Chains A and B, each alone.
Chain A
Amino acid sequence: GQQLNQSPQSMFIQEGEDVSMNCTSSSIFNTWLWYKQDPGEGPVLLIALYKAGELTSNGRLTAQFGITRKDSFLNISASIPSDVGIYFCAGFTPINTDKLIFGTGTRLQVFP
């Protein structure tokens, strides 16, 4: 099925560094959701975005809904060891408003 492209595929960073990842599509999306998934667990919702250009924060996390509506970005500031995991973007297109489409994931590793 259709999947969103996320980059980078994986990141290895030092504790305290800032992290940026993005999600792109050839199609327009009208909602973006960012999730974090730990091994053996389900995805946990981090941030939801509903309008083009919207910038939303949740603690050290900030996400933006791209103005072209074809991309979204997630930044994590001052990373800590518990930030380790896989980050997924997901979204709804105007045609499929009940079918959440997921990205390919960004695996984050934080070293102390």
Chain B
Amino acid sequence: GAGVSQSPRYKVAKRGQDVALRCDPISGHVSLFWYQQALGQGPEFLTYFQNEAQLDKSGLPSDRFFAERPEGSVSTLKIQRTQQEDSAVYLCASSLVGGPYEQYFGPGTRLTVT
């Protein structure tokens, strides 16, 4: 079946613009995760949904970052008033169940803030 898909794959934003990044998880996967990956680093956790409930948002770096998954399927990560330090690859992952289980990643969205 289809894997996790993300769009857009690349996004260039001027500093101060708002951006919205989309994630389509694997069909039937209950859990959805967002990670941020800086150049040369491993991914870092941002937030976690189980169905439509956002159960953990402790990794969101500031209140400019907001994520939603209103129907328990597609998720959107929104960044308001983008700053240069927001430049990174944003990865989405999904998992069949919650808890310490296998997570499957999408290709990521590379955000560049100029």
Contact = CB atoms under 8 A, between A and B. Distances in A.
Interface stretch (A12-20, A38-46, A53-61, A67-75): A38-46
Nearest to A2: B44
A105 B44 CA distance: 13
Interface residues of B, number: 29
Interface residues of A, number: 26
Contact of B42 (A44, A97, A102): A102
Interface of B: 4, 6, 31, 33, 35, 41-45, 48, 55-56, 58-59, 91, 93, 98-108, 110
Interface of A: 1, 3, 30-31, 33, 35, 40-45, 48, 50, 88, 90, 92, 97-105
Closest 8 CB pairs of A and B: A102-B42, A92-B100, A42-B105, A31-B100, A99-B45, A97-B100, A98-B48, A43-B105
